[in-house]
A and B are shown apart, each in its own frame.
Chain A
Amino acid sequence: MRRKIFALTGAAVLVMTSACGGGDETEEGGLTEVTVGAIPIVDVAPLHLGVEQGYFEEHGIDLTIENTTGGAAAVPGVVSGNFEFAFGNVTSLIIGRQENLPLKVVSNGVTSSGEDGNDFGGIVVPEGSDITSPEQLEGATIAVNNLENIGDTTVRNSVEQAGGDSGDIEFIELAFPDMPAALENGEVDAAWVVEPFLTSSMENGATEIASNFVDASPSLTIATYFTSEQMIAEDPELVEAFRTAMHESLNYANANPDEVRRIVTTYTEIDQNLIDKIRLPNFPAEVDQQSVQTIADLMVEYDTIDEAPNLDELYYE
């Protein structure tokens, strides 16, 4: 019975694709099942839009999005082959690459808006704080979601750029959702937050003092979709198909911010009022490789890694 249904669906897809004159690389008329690990946050809206718009199906991919909680499952999920692809931030990939994990960036994921004071992540201080600019963060306690990652790296850069010394900043690890409370209680002097917590903490009185992504690069690539070298060796057509569909999804998201705000309600529980107000990131199709190099150099400068890996190896071309 089930086999019959599969056969029928397969036949239907065959008819449809041939009717459209597509004739693309679908395997025996069926769609290839692909799982992508992604955190349920605003940044992965293009992925969800792409599924809804049928971009992945057009390229022969039956995409399942696994909502991973936190980034813990992304890299091991891809390395072990449980996920064909995953969404992950560039610092994690640089560290992974430096540890010789066979990871390759397939497509851009999310990029800073590049507008100072209007980016989707920033450094905020609580209401009534004396701190008004990043150089005053010398010796401060700052909350970041992960130590030795993109948060502390770019925050330190902002402090240094403003003429401060980042050496005696104390970074503490807190989950983004806990940061507004920690700010209000005075547990931290400042926090690096991203949307939707940037907007919500500012509504509750916090002040933004720097756009740390923008300080690092005019168009900083924050996160990308990546896969493993094995995957590329085994099924290069699938990787190519995913990349093409992903590019279409990113272009669609970039051109339709209202669609981004709409789709976010389907896979997160962010309050509708808040979604209407949050600042959106950019979703260009291409990774800004220069900005990734900048991050790698900063990580070396701040001793997060000993030496920058050869980043050419990081990209699938």
Chain B
Amino acid sequence: MTENVRTSAVPAASGSPDPAPRPAAAPPRRGLRLGNTALGVIGIVGFLALWEIVPRVGLVSGRYLPPASEVLAALAERMTMPTFWTALVDTLAGWGLGLAIAFGAAVVLGFTIGSVPALRRFTASTVEFLRPIPSVALIPLAVLLYATDIRSTLLLVVYAAFWQIYIQVLYGVADVDPVAEQTARSFGLGRLSRVRHIIWPSALPYLLTGLRLGAAVALILAITAQLIIGSPGLGKEIAVAQTSGAVDSVYALVIATGALGVTLNVGVRMLERRLLHWHTSVRGESSA
């Protein structure tokens, strides 16, 4: 309900001067939304049913793809074990800590470098060189520096998430409306005030997009590091189950990481919607 009001309020506040189409647009939107939820549920059930049938009828050997019911049972059993929760917490720690470090560094560097054009041009080629280096290429370095310590995970996570956020911050800072900027200057606002009132609000949507992209990449890299290096977490549990030939457990853990990914993504999206809702409403008010 409230979500609907909010989402439809965004286009209204940010531009459309005509309030008339709003109520007309709302009902079909709502119907679609309900339909989406229903379709989503049907999709999951359908997928699980397919997964249950394929190994049962022998299309794929159950030895390598156990039916969904067996995997879910293995997952349920695992969730009663403390080691599962320790691994989950370790994974969350690697993800959260890594993302926080990347976010902090990207925001500070992005705002600093982004707001000084000379500095930006000076660093551009280096950034373009470093950015496409895949984080997994740093695994040997991580192993050499930190072995199976959580810092190995952090190294990969921070490297991968940093660029996602940093580039967005740069775009955000560059996207500041020059008229607003010059108006602020002519009103005698200092550099810090301009950052606070002009640059920060216009960069915020970019920043949150960066955070959302960074959050997904951070989770992938956290699990990868654990899987390949053996730093603590769900990825390592998958690796142990794999070397033990415990196929049920491997799939159960893979599902757990997938569910974790969905949960984290929903969380970041909610945060984004909240912050951006605040942001657009403020802009709407000030421009009115």
Residues of chain A at the chain B interface (Cβ within 8 Å): 37, 39-41, 66-70, 72-73, 76-77, 79-80, 82-83, 175-177, 180-181, 184, 196-197, 200, 204, 267-271, 274
Question: Which single member of A76, A184, A197, A268 contacts B143 (CB below 8 Å)?
Answer: A76
Bound together, the chains give a CA A274 to CA B147 distance in angstroms of 31
CB distance from B165 to the nearest CB of A (A): 29
| Nearest chain B residue, comparing its CB with the CB of A175 | B242
Chain B interface residue number, banded: 20 to 34
Bound together, the chains give a CA A261 to CA B243 distance in angstroms of 16
> Would you call B147 and A271 a contact (CB within 8 A)?
no
One of B213-221, B224-232, B264-272 contacting the partner:
B224-232
CB distance from A38 to the nearest CB of B (A): 10
Given A37-B148, A40-B240, A72-B143: 9 more A-B contacts, CB < 8 Å: A40-B243, A66-B148, A67-B240, A70-B230, A72-B228, A73-B147, A76-B140, A270-B245, A271-B245
Q: Is B158 close to A, CB under 8 A? A: no
Bound together, the chains give a CA A310 to CA B49 distance in angstroms of 61
> Would you call B63 and A73 a contact (CB within 8 A)?
no
- A83 — which chain B residues lie within 8 A by C-beta? 147
Grouping DSSP codes into helix (H, G, I), strand (E, B) and loop, the A interface class, with mixed when no group exceeds half, is loop
Q: Is B90 close to A, CB under 8 A? A: no
Bound together, the chains give a CA A207 to CA B34 distance in angstroms of 56
> Would you call A274 and B245 a contact (CB within 8 A)?
yes
- A80 — which chain B residues lie within 8 A by C-beta? 144-145, 147
> Would you call A204 and B63 a contact (CB within 8 A)?
yes
- With A80-B147, A82-B146 in contact, do A72 and B229 touch (Cβ < 8 Å)? yes
One digit per residue, 1 when the CB lies within 8 angstroms of any chain A CB and 0 when it does not, for chain B 230-249 equals 10000010011111111001
Q: Is B183 close to A, CB under 8 A? A: no
Most chain A C-beta atoms within 10 Å of own C-beta, residue among B63, B148, B239, B243: B243
Most chain A C-beta atoms within 10 Å of own C-beta, residue among B140, B144, B230, B244: B244
- With A68-B230, A181-B64, A271-B246 in contact, do A73 and B143 touch (Cβ < 8 Å)? yes
CB distance from B138 to the nearest CB of A (A): 13
| Nearest chain B residue, comparing its CB with the CB of A73 | B143
| Nearest chain A residue, comparing its CB with the CB of B140 | A76
> Would you call B147 and A37 a contact (CB within 8 A)?
yes
Bound together, the chains give a CA A100 to CA B150 distance in angstroms of 29
> Would you call A200 and B245 a contact (CB within 8 A)?
yes
Bound together, the chains give a CA A80 to CA B239 distance in angstroms of 23
Interface residues of B in 108-159 (CB under 8 A from A): 139-140, 143-149
Bound together, the chains give a CA A39 to CA B242 distance in angstroms of 12
> Would you call A66 and B230 a contact (CB within 8 A)?
yes
> Would you call A184 and B148 a contact (CB within 8 A)?
no
> Would you call B144 and A196 a contact (CB within 8 A)?
no
| Nearest chain B residue, comparing its CB with the CB of A181 | B64
Grouping DSSP codes into helix (H, G, I), strand (E, B) and loop, the B interface class, with mixed when no group exceeds half, is helix
CB distance from B76 to the nearest CB of A (A): 16
Query: Can you name 29 A-B residue pairings with CB atoms under 8 Å?
Result: A37-B147, A37-B148, A40-B244, A66-B148, A68-B229, A69-B226, A69-B229, A69-B239, A69-B240, A70-B228, A70-B239, A72-B139, A72-B229, A73-B148, A73-B230, A76-B143, A76-B144, A77-B147, A80-B144, A82-B147, A177-B245, A181-B63, A181-B64, A196-B244, A197-B245, A268-B240, A268-B243, A269-B244, A270-B246
- B241 — which chain A residues lie within 8 A by C-beta? 269
- B239 — which chain A residues lie within 8 A by C-beta? 69-70
- A67 — which chain B residues lie within 8 A by C-beta? 148, 230, 236, 240
- B61 — which chain A residues lie within 8 A by C-beta? 181, 184
- A40 — which chain B residues lie within 8 A by C-beta? 240, 243-244
> Would you call B240 and A196 a contact (CB within 8 A)?
no
CB distance from A298 to the nearest CB of B (A): 26
> Would you call B245 and A196 a contact (CB within 8 A)?
yes
- A37 — which chain B residues lie within 8 A by C-beta? 147-148
| Nearest chain B residue, comparing its CB with the CB of A197 | B245
- B148 — which chain A residues lie within 8 A by C-beta? 37, 66-68, 73, 77, 82
Bound together, the chains give a CA A72 to CA B246 distance in angstroms of 21
- A176 — which chain B residues lie within 8 A by C-beta? 243
| Nearest chain A residue, comparing its CB with the CB of B238 | A69
- A271 — which chain B residues lie within 8 A by C-beta? 244-246
- A175 — which chain B residues lie within 8 A by C-beta? 242
CB distance from A128 to the nearest CB of B (A): 15
- B246 — which chain A residues lie within 8 A by C-beta? 269-271
- A181 — which chain B residues lie within 8 A by C-beta? 61, 63-64
Bound together, the chains give a CA A83 to CA B149 distance in angstroms of 11
| Nearest chain A residue, comparing its CB with the CB of B151 | A82
CB distance from A96 to the nearest CB of B (A): 14
> Would you call A69 and B244 a contact (CB within 8 A)?
no
CB distance from B151 to the nearest CB of A (A): 10
| Nearest chain A residue, comparing its CB with the CB of B146 | A82
> Would you call B139 and A79 a contact (CB within 8 A)?
no
